[in-house]
Structure 1
Amino acid sequence: MRLSNRKSWKVLLVSMAAALSFSMLAGCSDNKEEKDNSTALATYKGGEVTQKEFDTSIHVMKFLSPDQSQYLDMDVFKETLLKQLAAFEYLQGQAKDEAKKEAESQADTQIKTYKSGMGESYESSLKEQNLTESQVRDYMVRVLTVYQDMRLKVTDDDVKKYFDEHKGDFTVASVRHVLVGFTDSNNKERTDADALKRAQEVKAKLDGGADFAAVAKEYSDDTGSKETGGLYENKALGTYVEEFKQAALTLPLNTISDPVKTTYGYHIMKVESRTEKTFDKLTDDEKTQIKDTLSSEKVQSFLEKDLDGIITKINLPKASASAATGASAAPAASAPAAAPAASPAAQ
C-alpha cells in the first residue's frame, strides 16, 4: 500500500528513488581509497561535498534509476541535488548506531535484489557508470541510515495519530469499475467530453441490468482489472488515487455510481463490500508501512525547512542559459521510474 503523497521537484531526489527502499540520495562512499583533492562544491556544518563525491553520487543515481538520467544531467537541478547530498551526509553523521547497523543489513539485501533482478547486466551497468559495488553499497548505507534514524524517532502515539487521520486508507473493499480512459486501448487520446459520453453509456447499460463483468470486458481501459470483470477484491483503499478512494468510501453498497473523474479518465463504480479497520486490527506490516511513511515525511520536512540552515557555502558553477530552459521538460512531480506500473485506479 502506498501511503505517502507525491512530492515536488524541490525534493525531486526523494521522490525519484522512493521505490528503491525509501530513497537513495546520499553523498558518496565512506571507503575513500584514494585521497580526494577535488574542489569542495558545498560546505555544511561538519563537512563538505567535493566534486568527486558529487560526480560519484550522480553516477550511482543513474545506476539505480537509469530512466531519470536525463534529469540528473540538467544544470537547473544540480544545486538542489548538491544541497540534498550535503543534507544526507549531515544527517548520517547525527544518526544512532542502531540505525547504522540496520542500514548495513538493508543495503546488503538491496544489493542482492539488484543482482538478481538485473542478471548479467548488473556488472555491465556498474562498468558503464564507472562504479564499484562497494560504492553503490556505501551510498545505500548512508541514505538508509538517515531513514532508519528518522524511523527510530517515530513513536507509537505517532502511528496511532496517523491512523486516526487516515482511517479511510485502511478500509478494505471489493470494488468493480469500468474505466473510460482519456487514452483508449489503442493509445489514441480521447477528449474529456468523449470520455464522459462513453462513461454515461456504460452507466446506462449497467442501470439497465447489464452484467457488470461483461460490460467491463467490453468497455474498460483498465488492463489491471478488465479481464476480472473490473473487480479489485479486498484491497485497502489507500492504494487508490484520491477521487477513486473517496468514491469507494462513500458510495452505497451495490449501487452503480455516476462517472467518477480521475487523472486517468472516468470510472463507473460499484462497491460490493467494505470493511472499516480499527487500530487494534492493524497488522505488523501495516504499522511498519505507517512508520516508513512518517520517517519519509520527517526527511522531507528537514529538506524543506532545515536544509538551508546547515549549508554554509555553495561553490557550484552557474547553470547555463540553455540548461536552465530544460526545467519545463521535467514533470512537476514524477513518479519513481523504478516503481512497478500501477493500474489506472491505483497511484
Structure 2
Amino acid sequence: MNNAFPGKTRWIGLAALLLLVATATGAPGAEIIEEIAARVNDSIIVRSEVQDRRAALVRQIEEEMPPEEREETLARAQEDVLFDMINQELLLQRARLQFDMDKYFDNLQKDFMRKNEISSQSELDLFLKNSGLTSSEFRRLLLRSNVPQDVLQFDVARKLVVTTEQIQAYYDENPDRFLLPGKVSLGEIVILADSRGREEALVLALDAVARVRVGESFDQVARDLSEAPSKEKGGNVGPFETGDLAPNLEAQAFSLPLGTVSEPMETSYGYHIMTVISRTDAGLAPLAEVREEVERTLRQKKYGEDLDIFLGKLWVDNQVVVNPRYATGKLADGGPYATLEAILSGDKPLGPHPEDQTGEDAGDPPELQPATDDLSSRDAAVPAGDTAPDTEAPVGDAGTPHEGPSR
C-alpha cells in the first residue's frame, strides 16, 4: 500500500464495479462453511474472499503488464493479498468512527450515477438488477472501493508538511540529482574528402576559415561551401548536450570562445569547422527551478514513512488474528507490525506498550498470528464475503464523525 501516493480519490466506474461483481462471492444468506483466513476485531475474512481477490489480481496483472514482468509481480502480489485485505478492513472500520457513513455513501452513489450517466433511482435499480446486485451489495462494493483511500487522505496525506528548511537541506545534500548538462548551439561548415581527396579538402576548409576571419558572415560561407544538410540554414545546428557530439568536436564546442571560428578539424569524412552561437556550461540547477520536484520527492518519501506508522498503529490498537496457513509474504513471521519496534517514530513507540501501563487497566497487547484462537482449525458458518455490520471497532481516536470528503 505504501507505494501509492494519494492525490485524487479513487472512483469506481461502471467497468470497475462490474469487475468487482464478477469476483464477488455467493448470494446473501447462503450458509457456506469455510475456513477463516483472518479476523479483524469482529469481522472475518474467509478463504473464498482471499481466493477471489487473488483471481481478480491475476487477471488485472495479466491484462496490464507485459509478459516479461508478470511472473515476479504475480508471485509477490499474490503473497500479500491477505495482508492488503486486512489493511483494507482496518481502514473501513476506522472510517465508521470518522465519517457519517450514510451521508458518505450518498455522496459516492451520486457521483457514481453522474459518472455513469444514470439519471434516476429507477435507472440505478435497473442497473443493479441487471448486474445481479442487491442495494446492500452495491453499498458494500462502493464503500470498499473508496473508503480506504479517503481514510489515508484524511489521516495521512493531508497532514504531511514539508518545510522550506527540509527542501533546502535535500537540495544541498543531493547535488548530483540536480546537475544540468552543458548545452551548445553551433554553426558548422563541413568539407567532404571522399570525392576530392584530403589535400584538396583541406585547402577548401582553410579558405572557408579565412573568409570568415576577414569579415564574411559564417552563415554566408556555410551556404557557399558546406556540404552538410545544415548549409540550408547557414550551418546552424543544435542545441547539443554534453555527450551528444564526438569527443574531439565536443571538446572544441565547449572551449571555443563565442563568436570565433575554429581551425579545420580532421574527421573520418573530411574537415569540420565550427563557431559557437550560444553555450551553457554544465552546473547545478537553481533551487527555484527544481523546488517542485524536491517537494514532491520529500512528500512521497514522508508519505511512505507516515503510512507505515499509521498502519502499524492500527495493527497494534486492534485485534488482528491471522490463520498461520495464510501467513505468507508480509504476514510471515508475525507480520510487519507484530512488534512495536516496527513502528517507531524516532525512539518513541506510537502504540501503548504493556510495560508503560500501570493500574488495573494494564493488559496484554493484541496477539498476532498465531493468536489465542486457533483459526486453522475453525470454520465459519457464514455467508462467503460477509462481515460484521458497521462494528464500532477500537480503531483509535478518530475524532468527531463527519460525512467524509466532499465530492
Alignment TM-score, normalising by the size of structure 2: 0.34
Alignment TM-score, normalising by the size of structure 1: 0.39
